[in-house]
Chain A
Amino acid sequence: MNLTSILFYAFEALAALSSIALIFVRNVFHGALLLITCLLALAGIYIIAFAEFVAVTQILVYAGGILVVIIFGIMLTTKLAGKPLMIEHIYGFSGTLAGILFFALFVYYISTESFKSGPSTAGSLTEINTIGVGLMTEFVLPFEVAGILLLIALIGAAIIASSTNAKKT
């Protein structure tokens, strides 16, 4: 039991516990903070799984981007200023049943399948210049398509959010 395994299982427990708490939370703001906790723990797991660039991207994108956008969304859709946005649960039985059945299915298939064991030599961190060269050579088409997708999403989100017309009741 060395330091790496302690960190790995601590990150796994943190991710699992914060996501389980996400089921029971009633305050949307607390839900957003729990989700960010879970995603940062996943970033730690990515580093242990030798994917440091994915981990850094995860932290930058989720903690820096999506958390801010989600909190803006929560603030813009709260009716009463100063009071937390409490929500209710619906379809509790069917939702829990679907989740438990999916989890049982996954656990059954993971436990019956025998996976290829990893390389005997100790793994090493993927170097960032490998990823950069890959983005410009082998993965250049998905890279360009991702750029176009980001532009489309930017323009689309701006246009959708800028037009204001209230329902005539």
Chain B
Amino acid sequence: MMFPIEHFLYLGALLFSIGLVVVITKKNMIMVLLGIELMLNASNLNLVAFNQLYPEGINGQMFALFVIIVAVCEAAVGLAIVIQVYHYYHTSVPGEVNDLSD
């Protein structure tokens, strides 16, 4: 059976909004990365949900897979940068990283 697509879309909207709130309000770079992951997954949910309407094609699922791949790259490089910034500045608060060179 197939569920109404609005139920998927409302959950996607909620997840995206919460990801935005997390990115803005958290005072730690790793939490900011978690918020970005949440926003990417909200878009993935919409892609998979709309793919249900066209079961003869797999475009939505393919796009969701490539979004997952890009999310992995973003998490790896982002965490490498976070660790390096922590070694350099001894902090993981984004607002305290405020000079470009020493």
Contact A110 B13 (CB under 8 A): yes
Prevailing SS type, chain B contact patch: helix
Closest A residue by C-beta to B14: A16
Number of interface residues of A (CB under 8 A): 89
> B52-66: which have CB < 8 Å to A?
52-53, 55, 58, 60-62, 64-66
Contact B20 A98 (CB under 8 A): yes
A10 at the binding interface (Cβ < 8 Å): no
Closest A residue by C-beta to B88: A167
Q: Which of A110, A119, A164 contacts B10 (CB 8 A)?
A: A110
- Chain B residues lying within 8 Å of A51, measured Cβ to Cβ, are 48, 51, 60-61, 64
Contact B34 A131 (CB under 8 A): no
Minimum distance in angstroms from B80 CB to a CB of chain A: 4
Minimum distance in angstroms from A137 CB to a CB of chain B: 11
**A interface list, Cβ under 8 A from B:** 2, 4-5, 8, 12, 15-16, 19-20, 22-23, 28, 31-32, 35, 38-39, 42, 45-46, 48-51, 53-54, 57-58, 61, 65-66, 69-70, 72-74, 76-77, 79, 85, 87-92, 94-96, 98-100, 102-103, 106-107, 110-111, 115-116, 118-119, 122-124, 126, 130-131, 134-135, 139, 142, 146, 149-150, 152-154, 156-158, 160-161, 163-168
